[in-house]
Amino acid sequence: MSPPRVAVIGGGVAACSLAHGLRDSLASRAVSLHVFEMGRASGGRAATRGTRDDPGLRVDHGVPAFAALTPEFGALCESLVAADVLRRCDGDGSAFGVLRSSGTFEAEDAAGAPTRYRPPVGKGMNALCDGLLGGESTLANFTPSTMVTKVEPVAAQWRLTSKGGVDLGTFDWLVVSSTGLAHPRWRTTFGGEPPLVEAAAALGDTALDATLAALVPLQSKPAAMLAYGSDAAAAWASLPFFKAQVEADPVLSRIVVQRVSQSLTAVVLHSTHEFARSAAHVYGATSTAARIAGAKSDAGEEGRILDAMLVAAEKRLGGLLGPAAAMRSPAWGPHLHRWGAAFPDAPLLPEGRAVVPSARVAFCGDFVEGGEGRGGSVEGAALSGLRLAKALQREIGGLCGAD
Ligand SMILES: Cc1cc2nc3c(=O)[nH]c(=O)nc-3n(C[C@H](O)[C@H](O)[C@H](O)COP(=O)(O)OP(=O)(O)OC[C@H]3O[C@@H](n4cnc5c(N)ncnc54)[C@H](O)[C@@H]3O)c2cc1C
């Protein structure tokens, strides 16, 4: 008998953690997992951006480093450190702190800081999802550059179709790892009914309807970013931090300085949620939403937003960085990338609603509240994927056990 087929929409931290949690079941062929991701690779908001112009340039344009507060996630991170997928941020040029309104940098007190992780030197944050998926020998069937735009209940199974109209097959279970497919914001971004809402109307499953209703009030705080490689790498690299919160600024919330090589430093500016909200109609021409899904972007507006972010950075970093020329003559970029949903905001989806056996639908992602209070973080996403692995093993009879 062929194993139950599980389709996963999205290939971010939550989906890859699900694959990691199911690795024994995948190895024994007790289940077959098929991950569809609209981006070019795994990672989602924990992705690394590259450019054909300079193969050496990597920019972690979403999460640059993350904290582990729970023992379960801490243990997973330590196993990934041992496998050279992550490194601990302790004293290796990973200084964290605050850029005060006065323009001075104040490093955080290391004694009170959480354990944080980032990719090893020479790797990008995409190493995390690649490592969770199992690297080269991955047992999850991972299909990149494939946006799922239609899900249909057909004879006790789910049929998936891609944006290009390609039939992606039928599956026994459907896992949704991004709210997009089920949330009203689909209407404003892409037009039409959210695909899962349309499918639920045909299915008439009251438990699924209740879960979808619980997702409606979920809001997301947006964030904009810009990144660029710079000839003035040495000047940027000499800044005394890796990641700094920007104190009391209407435009910028964080500045992240990634030392890529001796001659290249990538800088990512994160806007405040309020600033990103004022730019809600602009995604950035090179964002996945614009490239793959056809979300609109306006070049003039992009220029205005980039300019406002650069001016704010010049103002705050002037005393530390020297001449503004370092900011105005990047070797690559600046590029704007507005995340439609950077950080989910309460009310998150309660864990009790995340698995709907009657409809064979389940949700995982940082928008699911598992009781640890880690929603909206890499940790929250990973824990939700690991929890779902256990739940699926319980739900789908015959799967080999996981601890
Ligand atoms: C700028 C920024 C800074 C951040 N900083 C931090 C930090 O310092 N610390 C921290 O812990 N967290 C941080 N986060 C949050 C963290 O990145 C997320 O919580 C985490 O990566 C979420 O993982 P996920 O798997 O739940 O969702 P996602 O990463 O969003 O994964 C969902 C995936 O689904 C894909 N997808 C969506 N719709 C479809 C479709 N129809 N078909 C196919 N694929 C689809 C998407 O492309 C995406 O890859 C930050 C996020 C951003 C944006």
pLDDT confidence bin for 401, thresholds 50/70/90: very low
For residues 247-254, give the mean pLDDT: 95
Q: Residue 249: what are its φ and ψ, rounded to 5°? A: -125, 135
Tokens of 63: 């999460």
- Whole-number pLDDT of residue 389: 97
Ligand 1 centre to CA of 342 (Å) is 7
Residues 229 and 109 placed together within one structural domain of the fold: yes
Mean pLDDT, the chain, whole residue set: 88
Give the model confidence (pLDDT) of 131-180 as tens digits: 999 876 678 899 999 999 999 999 999 999 999 999 999 999 999 999 98
Our answer on whether the CB atom of 151 is closer than 6 Å to any ligand 1 atom is no
Residues 201 and 313 placed together within one structural domain of the fold: no
- Specify if 240 maps to a domain: yes
**Ligand 1 atom having least distance to the Cα of 341:** 53
pLDDT confidence bin for 324, thresholds 50/70/90: low
Of 200 and 275, more confident? 200
Contact 80, 133 (CB under 8 A): no
Residues 39 and 183 placed together within one structural domain of the fold: yes
Using DSSP's 3-state secondary structure scheme, residue 344 falls into strand
Residues 176 and 236 placed together within one structural domain of the fold: no
For residues 206-234, give the mean pLDDT: 81
Tokens of 311: 């001016």
Tokens of 214: 């619980």
Residues 308 and 238 placed together within one structural domain of the fold: yes
Residues 281 and 194 placed together within one structural domain of the fold: no
pLDDT confidence bin for 191, thresholds 50/70/90: confident
CATH of the domain at 186: 3.50.50.60
Our answer on whether the CB atom of 177 is closer than 6 Å to any ligand 1 atom is yes
Residues 351 and 299 placed together within one structural domain of the fold: no
- Specify if 67 maps to a domain: no
Which residues constitute the domain of residue 20? 5-47+130-218+347-395
Of 154 and 91, more confident? 154
- Specify if 380 maps to a domain: yes
- Specify if 72 maps to a domain: no
pLDDT confidence bin for 229, thresholds 50/70/90: low
Using DSSP's 3-state secondary structure scheme, residue 228 falls into strand
Residues 36 and 153 placed together within one structural domain of the fold: yes
Nearest CA to 139 among 262, 31, 218, 245? 31
**Number of domains within the chain:** 2
Contact 400, 30 (CB under 8 A): yes
**Boundary (domain end) residue, out of 342, 361, 387:** 342
Give the model confidence (pLDDT) of 44-64 as tens digits: 999 998 877 777 788 898 999
Ligand 1 centre to CA of 46 (Å) is 6
Q: Residue 15: what are its φ and ψ, rounded to 5°? A: -65, -40
| Res 306 pLDDT > 60 | yes
The region, left, alpha or beta by phi > 0 then psi within -120 to 50, assigned to residue 68 is: beta
- Whole-number pLDDT of residue 289: 63
- Specify if 124 maps to a domain: no
Residues 149 and 207 placed together within one structural domain of the fold: yes
Our answer on whether the CB atom of 178 is closer than 6 Å to any ligand 1 atom is yes
For residues 105-133, give the mean pLDDT: 92
End-to-end CA distance of the chain: 25
Contact 103, 316 (CB under 8 A): yes
Residues 200 and 229 placed together within one structural domain of the fold: no
Nearest CA to ligand 1 atom 49: 44
Ligand 1 centre to CA of 320 (Å) is 32
Ligand 1 centre to CA of 44 (Å) is 5
Our answer on whether the CB atom of 14 is closer than 6 Å to any ligand 1 atom is yes
| Res 231 pLDDT > 80 | no
Give the model confidence (pLDDT) of 371-392 as tens digits: 999 999 999 999 999 999 999 9
Q: How far apart are CA 170 and CA 183, in angstroms?
A: 23
- Whole-number pLDDT of residue 400: 45
Helix axes 195-203, 206-215, angle to 10 degrees: 150
Q: Which of 86, 378, 387 to mutate to test the pocket of ligand 1 (most atoms within 8 A of CB)?
A: 378
Helix axes 378-395, 71-82, angle to 10 degrees: 100
| Res 96 pLDDT > 90 | yes
Our answer on whether the CB atom of 9 is closer than 6 Å to any ligand 1 atom is yes
Residues 331 and 371 placed together within one structural domain of the fold: no
- Specify if 400 maps to a domain: no
Of 289 and 115, more confident? 115
Using DSSP's 3-state secondary structure scheme, residue 313 falls into helix
Instruction: Report the range of poorest mean pLDDT among 111-125, 244-258, 291-305.
Output: 291-305
Cα-to-chain-centroid distance, residue 78: 21
- Whole-number pLDDT of residue 137: 61
Residues 174 and 240 placed together within one structural domain of the fold: no
> What percent of the chain stands above pLDDT 70?
89
pLDDT confidence bin for 223, thresholds 50/70/90: confident
